Amino acid sequence: MSSGRDQHLYLLYEVYDPSHSAPEMGKDNGGKASGKSPAAPVKLLTSIEFLNGTTKAFETPLVEAYCAQYPYAGAVAFQFDVHLRI
């Protein structure tokens, strides 16, 4: 068993079907813009912030993702390992 001074908080979350901020490129059957292009790149930025009341106690570095890691599900997964210092 690990001591209280050597603990980690593991966080995992997934973003499904992230919207694309690029111009609409896909076409529907009528030739109109469909709203999404399957080939359009994705750009997601994320970080985790811990607050103590209204004061920021800790923030992870910014993590970027540019494509779906799981194309079959249209998802991007983010994993964080935060070392807890007591």
For the chain, what are the domain ranges?
Answer: 7-84
Give the model's pLDDT for residue 30.
Answer: 53
pLDDT band at 3 (very low <50, low <70, confident <90, very high): low
In the beta sheet, which residues pair with residue 33? 27
**Residue that wins the pLDDT comparison between 85 and 86:** 85
What is the structure's pLDDT at 10?
94
Tell which residue, 12, 19, 17, 21, has the closest CA to residue 63.
12
DSSP summary character for residue 33: B
Mean pLDDT, rounded, for 78-83: 90
Position 4 scores a pLDDT of 62
In 3D, which of 11, 13, 36 has the Cα closest to residue 25?
A: 36
**Is this structure's pTM higher than 0.85?**
no
